[in-house]
Copies of this chain bind each other. A is one copy, B any other.
Amino acid sequence: ICEYIRAKFPDVVLILDAKRGDIGDTAALYAREAFSRYGADAVTVNPYLGTDSLEPFLATPGKGTIVLCRTSNAGSSEFQSLEVDGEPVYLRVARTAAAKWRSIGECALVVGATYPEELARVRAIVGDMPILVPGIGAQGGDINAVVRAGATSPSSATTSQATTPAASRRGLIINSSRAILYASDGADFATAARDAALATRTAINAAS
């Protein structure tokens, strides 16, 4: 699949949503698999094993490492929201990303569209770091709430130029998978998937 995408759409950013998480040597091989073998531009990784498990990804020049912070599923609160020194584990992940991981390489975080208030708390910690937001399609996350909570604030310079909301708000990679992949199970699949994707794009650009 990666080879097909690379051949047909060489300019598309290719994110491998593999949620990797393993120790030193193995992590280094997974990073090579993702970036060299599959030619991905970025890969999602799990923080549970700590910084040394993320380092081989972060340290690969020109490639992105997207760390799971607060995932979109219902059970994600079970460990991610445990209170540590008065704040949840996922905010500790966000603080570590801002303080440490971004200085090693290109780092982003995953925060589910299903938790817009928590997205706002993460944004407050990580400044202008990119945030990948799954969960707006099949999982029912609200696009307007996501953009309000998660986009970086427009600088005064861009606001004064009276740009559109979409053009002045940045920092989010909003993802819809199943709502597009499963847009139709009939012969009209290609058209239905295209329509769903375009409608999603329009909704994101119109969000306020």
Interface residues of chain A, those whose CB is within 8 Å of chain B, are: 19-25, 46-53, 68, 71-80, 82-85, 89, 92-93, 96, 178
The residues of B that contact A53 with a CB separation of less than 8 Å are 73, 75
* Interface residue from B50, B72, B82 paired with A84 (Cβ < 8 Å): B82
Chain B CB within 10 Å, residue with most, of A77, A79, A92:
A79
Are A52 and B73 CB-contacts (below 8 A) given A19-B21, A19-B22, A21-B46? yes
Kindly state the separation between the CA atoms of A178 and B22 in the bound complex, as whole angstroms: 14
Are B74 and A52 in contact (CB-based, < 8 A)?
yes
Are A73 and B23 in contact (CB-based, < 8 A)?
yes
The residues of B that contact A71 with a CB separation of less than 8 Å are 23, 48-50
The residues of B that contact A22 with a CB separation of less than 8 Å are 19
The residues of B that contact A68 with a CB separation of less than 8 Å are 21, 48-49
Are A23 and B79 in contact (CB-based, < 8 A)?
no
